[in-house]
Amino acid sequence: MSCDMSRDRLWTWVQGEDDDAASRAEISQHLEVCLSCKSEVSDMRDLIGDLQNVAVSCAPVAPTEAPRVIGDYQILRQIGRGGSSVVYQAEQRDTRTPVALKVIGGGPRVNDSQSRLFEREVQTLARLNHPAIAAVLEAGRLDDGSFFFAMELVRGVSLREFAEGRRFEGPDEKPLNLRERLVLFRRVCEGVSYAHQRGVTHCDIRPSNILVSDHGAGHSHGNDLPAFPKLIDIGHARLMGRDEAARSTHGDDGRYVYSLPYLSPEHAQGRQDQIDVRSDIYSLGVVLYELVTGGLPDDGSRNSPRSAVGPSCRQAPVHRGNRKRLVPGELASIILKAMENEPPQRYQSAAALADDIDRFMSGMPVLARPLSTRYQLRKLVARHRLPFALAAMLLLSFVGSGVAALLQARQISSDAARSQRVQAILESFYEAPDPERSGRRDVTVIQSLDAKAKALTEELDDDPLVAAAVRNTIGNTYRSLSDLPSAALHLTFALETRRKLLGDDNIETAKSMNDLGELRVLQEQPDQAENLWQAALAVRRSVLGPDDPRVAETLNHLGVLKSQDGERFEEAKANLEEALRIRRNVLAAVQADSAASREVRLARENVARTLNDLGGLYRIRHTPDEFADAERSYREALRLRQESFGPVHPQVAKVHNNLGKLLQSKGEFDAAEQCFQTALRILRSDHSYGDDHQYIARLLSSIAQVKLARGDISAAQAFGEEALALREKLLGATHAETTESRRFLDSLVSSRAAAN
Amino acid sequence: MELTTEKSLTESGPTGTTRNGIGDTSVVIIEKYKDALHRFCMGYLGDEALAEEVARETFASLSDGRELPAVDLRPWLYKVARNHCLEIMRRRQPSISRNGFADAARLGAGRHAGDVYNERQELMRQVLSNMPEEYRSVLMLKHVEGLSRAEIAEALEVSEPTIKGRLVRASEHLREALRNQSGSIS
């Protein structure tokens, strides 16, 4: 190595054995700039990967000299070898068509199992005709008893290599950015989905089985990314609903013969009857993880056989070499949902996974989150603007005329408490009855806001501090209306102006930092958000003291942000617990000093919200202690919200749902079902939701899952059917959630058939 | 504590493999660990039947209470299995080499269709076969069996700092040996 970093340190780091957080951070930063060490680390990871593959397979075959001719094919060179097969690059002698020729065994060594495997592979592949799947051109048997088949020769590099910029021909290019990687992955999903629809599961999806070339055809996305993936080696694919004898006998040895990190738990455990399309979804999840982060889920939780028997991987994906860099929250949720331990918890189809990727790329809410998170609310705001028309109109009423706006702005500028109250009012509109029911978008509101904001900006040109206060509020409103570029424009102006005129250590500046941080999270820039919040926190603590509710606000933000990084659990916990302490004190003070029910309710809701976030944090750890803490937090949040809102309120239902999800994770299916049923009753009886609502369908689906977990397949089917009917009615037959419900029911029917 | 986890998994797993194992912890444990232990023993012995025998013997130790795990089940299982393997290798040194991986390779040919073979993997097998046992065991337990440092320390009956240092040395040994044999790595 050409730098001072010792290889011992790198080995310790690569193997997850560096206990010193500062040292880990130093190495991560070093790898960002040192290509030599980066390459070194890459080699180390490859070595470990090879070690795992070799150690678990124990199945080499002695190299043999390649024949010159096989059947009608002229052999050019050997390009690969499996445990019982050799793959050659060859060409058809008459047409000179280039092919990849796969030959199974040598006559005497071919046994029935190998023959069956080969025949099945041929049957499987012969049915497939898709640009993302390598086509089978011919198959047959040679004189010596060996089988062969000729496949389309794919001139590409593995998915991993392609993402890193390597090309089959020509010079390397820049590594793909996140969006390009997702586009590429989306195309892989198309191929997998196509195969699934024809009853074919791949069963061995991994980056080396996905070759990518930079020229080809067949994708009709309108996206011009020159990347054409092809799935190869579907030799382990099993036919769904056919070849039952082979299904029950082949591969029953239960050993880890595939590439471990990508193998689904049910496959790794040899639960042959449970391997279906959702096993491929798991593998796709790991492939996506690797594509997004550059590494595999580490700490042994996913790249070892232990994963097959351990709990679900619930740690947020982290970038290889820079653990502080967060994977965008929605994307992390997509990955984790695909990699759920239990198949019913995963996406039920490759199409559903692809749809969620699409949603993520287009800024729509993804399905990979429970309904109870504040995230949902934020995304609802982002997508459905009608209720936020009220908030915007409120703002417009402030700024409707120049004089009124100026007065209002001066108040905001001079009175932080007033500003906070305005924000609280706006926030109360954010939690207005669900906008999904209307499903309408009111673009005139944002158009009006554009015009007013422009006029106001010009009008306040002579008073930058007032302009900063107003534009901070305008920015927040744009943020609520999901116009992030406009929000950034105004919030950045407000922050820069305040920094310039008031300095960094000013409470108004801190507010701008806090608000801009919230925007950065929506813009998937968590590092920037964290920096802003840390700065805002320091100012608020020093100016307002450690017990001010605004300190708690920023602490809560930081805690939620850090909770997305499994490695920062303790930091997140410290932030949220501190926020909780402050908010509890505020609540006590308000209850003692004020009879104003609204003040008390607001303070109580703040406590409930932090408790809910803490519950979510504890829940991801999957340990008995943390499960207990999560349950305590949820139960107190529930009690507080019931005090504020009464027993029947959507906010109460959300905590019931969260608690249900927790209990479901703990395996307490009876109690989980009670929670879901309670939430269901509340939503059905609450006038703001009505009987037909997407949330209700989700709760029905959750109940179906716990019924299934308890072995009550009939009830699971009944609830699953109800969820499906509702989703078909609300969302249409092709919506991803509808498809998910249908898949769930299909798997139930299959299970019943198998049981009978 | 492992048993508690196991029980919880058994009772809660909606689609687990242990539908018949509720209430019978031993059956659940065997079901859960048999393949891993078998694979681990194959690395030492290179003999399917012998590896199975050692795995069975290990589980028997558990069920008859001869050697009950003091703290955690998983490292205990590996510790007992490894000791059995080492004992067999000592007793039968003339007829069984330490070349477990190479032997396993010959026996296993044809069983793993589709597992991509290449020269590097063959080299890896040779290097693993000739690696000192204390290096090989720590690498296997870490990267193949997925044990934590504390668990490996318990299984190999050494301290955690020792394991940490040994992992680095073993990894470097593996890398150097591969480099020497292939002349082409990195």
Integer Cα distance of A140 and B153 in angstroms: 53
Q: How far is A499 from chain B (nearest CA, A)?
A: 49
- Let me know the angle formed at the C-alpha of A697 by A693 and A699, rounded to the nearest 5 degrees: 115
| CATH label, A660-756, candidates 3.40.50.1220, 1.10.3720.10, 3.55.40.20, 1.25.40.10 | 1.25.40.10
Per-residue confidence (pLDDT) for residue A348, from 0 to 100: 87
The domain locations on chain A are 7-57, 69-152, 157-361, 374-659, 660-756
Per-residue confidence (pLDDT) for residue A532, from 0 to 100: 95
**CATH code of residue B139:** 1.20.140.160
Across the interface, whether the CB atoms of B110 and A84 are under 8 A apart is answered: yes
Query: For the segment A391-411, what is each residue's pLDDT rounded down to a tens digit?
Result: 444 444 444 333 333 444 444
Integer Cα distance of A443 and A10 in angstroms: 54
Per-residue confidence (pLDDT) for residue A143, from 0 to 100: 66
| CATH label, A69-152, candidates 3.40.50.980, 3.30.200.20, 1.20.1440.230, 3.30.450.20 | 3.30.200.20
Q: How far is A571 from chain B (nearest CA, A)?
A: 23
Please check whether residue A100 is in contact with residue A82, taking contact to mean a CB–CB distance below 8 angstroms.
no
ipTM above 0.85, yes or no: no
**Which residue of B13, B101, B146 is in closest CB contact with A58?**
B101
Q: How many domains does chain B have?
A: 1
Across the interface, whether the CB atoms of B35 and A270 are under 8 A apart is answered: yes
The residue of chain B with its CA nearest to that of A254 is B35
What are residue A210's DSSP bridge partners? A231
Tracing tokens 């065997």 back to the chain, one arrives at B30
Per-residue confidence (pLDDT) for residue A222, from 0 to 100: 43
For B78, the domain range is: 2-6+25-105+115-182
Nearest to A273 by CA among A259, A254, A287: A254
- Taking the Cβ of residue B27 and every Cβ of chain A, the question of whether any pair is shorter than 8 Å is answered with no
Instruction: Mark out the alpha helices in chain B (DSSP H runs).
Output: 2-12, 25-45, 48-63, 73-91, 100-108, 119-130, 133-139, 149-156, 160-182
- Taking the Cβ of residue B113 and every Cβ of chain A, the question of whether any pair is shorter than 8 Å is answered with yes
Q: Do domains A374-659 and A660-756 have the same CATH topology?
A: yes
Asked if the structure places residue B110 within a domain, the reply is no
- Taking the Cβ of residue B109 and every Cβ of chain A, the question of whether any pair is shorter than 8 Å is answered with yes
Report the amino acid identity of residue A265: P
Chain B residues whose beta carbon lies within 8 Å of the beta carbon of residue A12? 164, 167-168
Q: Which of A54, A257, A303 to mutate to test the interface with B (most CBs of B within 10 A)?
A: A54
Per-residue confidence (pLDDT) for residue B131, from 0 to 100: 77
Per-residue confidence (pLDDT) for residue A405, from 0 to 100: 39
Res. B157 pLDDT band, cuts 50 70 90 = confident
Domain A374-659 homologous superfamily, CATH: Tetratricopeptide repeat domain (1.25.40.10)
Chain A residues whose beta carbon lies within 8 Å of the beta carbon of residue B128? 51, 54-55
Work out how many CB contacts closer than 8 A connect A with B. Answer: 196
Instruction: Mark out the alpha helices in A384-523 (DSSP H runs).
Output: 386-399, 402-414, 416-430, 443-459, 464-480, 484-502, 507-522
Per-residue confidence (pLDDT) for residue A575, from 0 to 100: 95
Report the amino acid identity of residue A121: E
The residue of chain A with its CA nearest to that of B113 is A83
Task: Please enumerate in sequence order all residues whose Cβ is within 8 A of that of A56, keeping only pairs 6 or more positions apart, or say none.
Answer: A255, A256, A257, A260, A305, B39, B144
- Taking the Cβ of residue B132 and every Cβ of chain A, the question of whether any pair is shorter than 8 Å is answered with no
Across the interface, whether the CB atoms of A300 and B146 are under 8 A apart is answered: yes
- Taking the Cβ of residue B1 and every Cβ of chain A, the question of whether any pair is shorter than 8 Å is answered with no
Query: For the segment A67-115, what is each residue's pLDDT rounded down to a tens digit?
Result: 677 778 888 877 766 545 677 888 888 888 888 887 765 444 445 655 5
The interface residues of chain B toward chain A in range 49-68, judged by CB-CB distance below 8 A, are none
Asked if the structure places residue B170 within a domain, the reply is yes
**Which residue of B13, B115, B145 is in closest CB contact with A306?**
B145
Helices B25-45 and B73-91, axial angle in degrees (round to 10):
40
Query: For the segment B118-134, what is each residue's pLDDT rounded down to a tens digit?
Result: 566 677 777 787 778 88
Asked if the structure places residue B41 within a domain, the reply is yes
Q: Could you tell me which CATH number the domain at A157-361 has?
A: 1.10.510.10
Query: For the segment A712-722, what is each residue's pLDDT rounded down to a tens digit?
Result: 888 888 899 88
Integer Cα distance of A627 and A239 in angstroms: 40
Weakly modelled stretches of chain A, pLDDT under 50 = 58-64, 83, 106-110, 218-222, 236-258, 299-314, 324, 370-444
**Which residue of A51, A208, A256 is in closest CB contact with B116?**
A208
